[in-house]
Copies of this chain bind each other. A is one copy, B any other.
Amino acid sequence: MTITRQHVIDRDAAEAVSAPIISYVVTHGDVVYLSGVISDPRNPGPDVQSQTREVLHRIDELLADAGTDKSKLLSAQVWLRDMSTFSAHNEVWNEWVDPANPPVRACIQAQLVLPTLLVEIKVTAAR
């Protein structure tokens, strides 16, 4: 099956900010893998709800680039910097997710790449 890679961070871009060389989207057959998505690290939102909205909006864009959308989500991993924000995060998730077609999910607390980042989400979808 064919592998397609989109939004590849090249060496120069990665090394400029000590970041890893990654793809943001990899499609293999009819499965679409997305990288973990965070708020813009140069200007992260002030709270978990604004950051969750930004992350989910970016996931919508990346899924669209891969020719799919949130109604075909298979699996999601959510990392919250502080589990006390779980309910606030879920409110935004629940407004966003297709209630007829939600993915499987797990959510744990974790320190992310920068202390200002409050949520990261990594999804896999069909297309």
In chain B, what residue has the closest Cβ to A62? B104
Q: Are A23 and B106 in contact (CB under 8 A)?
A: no
Per the bound structure, the CA–CA distance linking A25 and B100 in Å amounts to: 13
How big is chain A's contact interface, by range?
35 or more
Complex interface: chain B residues within 8 A of A22 (CB): 76, 97, 102-105
Verify if A107 is at the interface (C-beta below 8 Å from B): yes
Given A109-B111, A126-B28, CB of A21 within 8 Å of CB of B102? yes
Residues of A at the B interface (CB closer than 8 Å) are: 1, 3, 5, 8-11, 14-15, 18-26, 28-31, 33-36, 72, 74-77, 79, 83, 86-87, 90-91, 93-94, 97, 99-113, 120, 122, 124, 126
